Structure 1
């Protein structure tokens, strides 16, 4: 089966503002995110990509554009099933405010039971199911068109990528908050007939993120994905 490179979008204006963007329109990359996106083509330069698949949201499309500019003719596909979680009434709200909500604790400790409130709110289980289905469908399509050794990139969002990685590892969804996927990091999975192999997880190509932080650390996982190293 092909190898899929899961790219989290670069840091967005919502990330830097501490807002849960969800499917809000007009959420672009910030200055740091544009730098990250610009470096992506170089990080992937040694790989013969068969295609790029992206979430329809602006921050993902902006992340892959420099890669597409560097490789004229590289096929681009849009896939709604790898779009961000539908956070319902949480969409557009400050993460600091959401941390006071009772549901926040459920998302932290028991995400398989979490359903986001309001019209269009999605469960974390439904989010994972559609994202995993999308990856496996694209694996089949890429293999049929380019062969079993093909490599392709799929640009998505923090919680989506964490849930895909958790499924590949055979982890219960309630453990997926143990995974960290920074902006513009690469998570690489090779699916085989026997099992998936997780080859990289949240790889930024830079160990600076492991240095002690100057601000107090929180034990909570950031819903929607963190902002990465300062």
Structure 2
């Protein structure tokens, strides 16, 4: 068989199989990718690519690999639907990053989720002040779900327009327990001023995990010891 014709047939067959597998596995794979969906997508894509161009392997072997992997993924999906225990093992579970306005450093560390990633996810939801957040949960698909504190909920467009007067971009002063001297200098602030503000709260710099001056010049501190007796951890 002509090599170009063979590649054309292999590619068309791979496309048909991919569409068929996607139909079997359901919309979940596309709309809400979990660990299982991620692994399935990468593996199936790799098999399809090899099926299209790797002439050294018999195409029947590729179809067999497609079939076995699809059935295995489908079985794991069914197990995840039937059992919460298996669902947590296969797809993972949501992880609370902020509880009652307090950052849960241990959960962030466990998920290898940095402060930069957290702040970016909050800004994407138009939240520039951490102290507006009641709860923040890292979902199975890697997205952050946020519940604002009650006083920050249900703001109208007119409220936002009035509140925008005199706002400033938030300035991070401490991250991961380290003072950001450059940000202090740019904001005409000093380490001594920061220490005095902490002394008013009976704290020192070594107690602080994260500190930021918000859009209205208000200070927000998150401490290593948040006095959250039983932090939520769904892992």
TM over 0.5: no
Q: TM-score range by the shorter chain?
A: under 0.3
TM-score in terms of structure 2 length: 0.18
Structure 1 or 2: more helix by fraction: 2
Q: Considering only CA atoms, is the larger Rg found in Structure 1 or Structure 2? A: 2
TM-score in terms of structure 1 length: 0.18
